[in-house]
Amino acid sequence: MGSEVRVGGRPDQITVSGSGGSTSEGAGEITRLAINLPALCRERNWRNLAFIGVTKHAGKTTALNAFIAQLQADAGSPQSSTSERIGLLSIGLDGERLDTIMGIRKPPVEVPVGTLVASAEGALAESDAGLEYLEALPIDSPLGQVLVAQVTRPGHVLLAGVRQRQHVQQVATRLRHYGATWCLVDGAFDRVAAAAPHLVDAAVLAVGATAGATVDAVIAQATPVVQRFLLPEVAEDLRDELHPAYQRGEIGVLGHFATEHDAAEGARLAAAQEACRDAAEGARLAAAQEACRDAAEGARLGAAQGDPLGAAERTALNVPHGVSGHPDYPMTLVCLPKTAATTGPWLHPDWPGELSAVRAVYVPGALTASLLEGLLAHATAPTGVHLVVGHPAQVLAPRAALESWYRRGHRLSVWTPLPLAAIAVNPHSVNGADLPVVELAAAAQALAPGVPVFDALALGGSLASADRMFDAVDSGPPTALAPASANKEVTER
């Protein structure tokens, strides 16, 4: 493949040339601004980062090593505090010598002296870095109890043993207790759950050539993952309406639902409409309102009418579900147990029967393909339904299902967004066919304008290449964020 880095006309500018095609007409090179990712994270106070991959072997461990290398390069610089300390853990198994799925040798996780590591006892025994054990945590795994250790001699570590999100939070707390100022979570394959807002501040997403034989194929795989992190935050007014469901951790269904009294009122109004077919309709309705002094019917008629002649009321009378379908009618929130998402909330006995009256649905757990397809079939509001999920990592529905949702005029947002700190592109494929790094980086940048993009393979822990991170000149600020030999010396405190 081959690529080179040339210093451009300004000290902060670099030109990246690649052999794999052009990113603009008549040119085989693109100009980018050099960027230091740790410095960017310090600026935005992102100290807890998840490193996740679009696919297996996407390059996230390489990106993690690059980040650690940059932290080392920054040590002692004005932008870095001398008290900075790295804390490392993984959700799932990572850092293994030979990949358990594809039989491919993986890059090790490289750790400098002073790094704090949380990993299973059996995994630490396979690491070649010098370690001092600090604490045994009440977390068990097939590889033994999870321990907190401090690196006393640089080397490689195997990260394993932390398998649940609540354990990530628990381990991160202990790492910070021992002085970690950075908490880096290596999210193993299919562990995008590590990128949860209550666990980390931002995510670094690795996009690698293993995902496809062409740049277009790789980007097609990356698109739905990137789009999760670019979802808008729920609007404040809708957040207020759905907040009781969020607080209770339940599914919230918001809409213009009629009560029993409302249903009776709608029937009476429908009968009145049937009887009133001449020009005196408005007057008769006004007279009916005047006569209703002992109930709220008259008040609601007046609110729906907005004027003595009942123009708005006549609109309400003509909607399929009577007054309850009118946009000025008060909305009601119906809460359903979170478990109803498994079988389908529309099957729960408390699911509102008036499907066209549903305006918004809050889902506290995973948004799966089956859940989204069921909502598509049962949420039929003509103005569209606004679906709100907890955070980006909970959007698990495939791209096709999401596209169907949008085509029907529905919307999707998140309760708590999680920024992408950067996208790490890896042009190397373990299958042997590499992709042009410049073209891959440019395509990733187009997918997420404003999010920094860097070549994970070039950085890969090499300090000499630590300035080869690049971001589009015109992008603006980001939109939001392995083992070793058995010969190891271990001391115990």
pLDDT tens column, 126-174 = 899 999 999 999 999 888 999 999 999 999 998 888 888 889 999 999 9
Task: Go through 324-363 and write b for each residue having 16 or more CB atoms within 10 A of its CB, e for each that does not.
Answer: bbbeebeebbbbbebebbeebbbebeebbebbebbbbbbb
Per the structure block, which two tokens stand in for 181? 């100022």
Once rounded to an integer, what is the mean pLDDT over residues 455-468? 47
325, two tokens: 């379908």
Res 78: pLDDT: 58
Between CA 357 and CA 79 the distance in angstroms is: 55
Higher pLDDT, 325 or 485: 325
**Torsion sign, CA atoms 190, 195, 198, 200:** positive
Report the candidate in 329, 263, 259, 336 with the shortest Cα–Cα distance to residue 301: 329
Cβ 345 vs Cβ 370: under 8 Å: no
In the block, residue with structure tokens 């490392």: 88
Percentage of the residues of the chain whose pLDDT score is greater than 90: 40
Q: What is the pLDDT of residue 26?
A: 30
Between residues 317 and 187, which one has the greater pLDDT? Answer: 187
Query: What is the crossing angle of helices 399-407 and 369-378, to 10°?
Result: 20
pLDDT at position 470: 38
- Which residue type is seen at 159? L
| Full-model pTM | 0.73
pLDDT greater than 80 at residue 452: yes
pLDDT of residue 375: 87
Q: Report the pLDDT value the prediction gives residue 118, as an integer from 0 to 100.
A: 96
User: How far apart (Å, rounded) are the C-alpha atoms in residues 227 and 421?
Assistant: 14
Integer Cα distance of 444 and 454 in angstroms = 10
**How much is the mean pLDDT over the chain?**
74
For position 56, what pLDDT does the model report?
80
3-state helix, strand, coil in the chain (%, to 5): 35, 25, 40
Residues 6+ apart with CB under 8 A from 480: 202, 229, 230, 417, 418, 419, 420, 451
**Rounded-to-integer distance, Cα 423 and Cα 409, Å:** 30
Q: Domain coordinates of the chain in residue numbers?
A: 3-231+417-492, 236-257+331-414, 261-324
Q: 5 has which bridge partners?
A: 16
Report the C-alpha gap between 420 and 414 in whole angstroms.
Answer: 14
Nearest to 408 by CA among 382, 444, 428, 427: 382
pLDDT of residue 467: 35
Supply the pLDDT for residue 74. 81
pLDDT value of position 296: 42
Q: What is the pLDDT of residue 266?
A: 56
pLDDT band at 402 (very low <50, low <70, confident <90, very high): very high
Higher pLDDT, 243 or 463: 243
Q: What is the pLDDT of residue 329?
A: 55
Q: pLDDT tens-digit profile of 183-213?
A: 999 885 444 656 788 889 999 999 988 888 8
CA–CA dist 242, 334 (Å, integer): 9
Contacts 24+ apart (CB under 8 A), 369-375: 369/396, 369/397, 369/398, 369/401, 370/344, 371/341, 371/344, 371/397, 372/397, 372/401, 372/402, 372/405, 373/401, 373/404, 374/344, 374/345, 374/346, 375/346, 375/405
pLDDT band of 75, cuts 50, 70, 90: confident
pLDDT higher at 9 or 122? 122
pLDDT digits (tens, 9 = 90+) for 291-307: 544 434 444 444 444 43
Query: What percent of the chain stands above pLDDT 70?
Result: 64
Cα(179)–Cα(171) distance, integer angstroms = 13
Using an 8 Å Cβ cutoff, are 344 and 274 in contact?
no
Residue 178 has pLDDT above 80, yes or no: yes
What is residue 96's predicted lDDT score, i.e. its pLDDT?
45
Q: Which residue's structure tokens are 């002296």?
A: 113
Determine how β-strand 490-492 pairs with β-strand 130-136: parallel
Q: Could you read off the pLDDT of 236-273 as tens digits, one per residue?
A: 999 999 999 999 999 999 988 765 545 555 556 666 66
What pLDDT score was predicted for residue 278? 55
Matching residue, tokens 């009560």: 259
Q: pLDDT digit string (tens) for 331-341?
A: 889 999 999 98
Q: Please give the pLDDT value at position 196.
A: 83
Q: b or e along 430-452 (b: 16 or more beta carbons within 10 Å of the residue's beta carbon)? A: beeebbbbbbbbbbbbebbebbb
**Does 103 have pLDDT greater than 90?**
no
CA distances from 287 to 312, 314, 326, 360 (A): 16, 15, 22, 36
pLDDT at position 307, please? 37
Residue type, 81: S
Q: Is the pLDDT of residue 102 over 60?
A: no
Query: Which pLDDT value is given to residue 455?
Result: 87
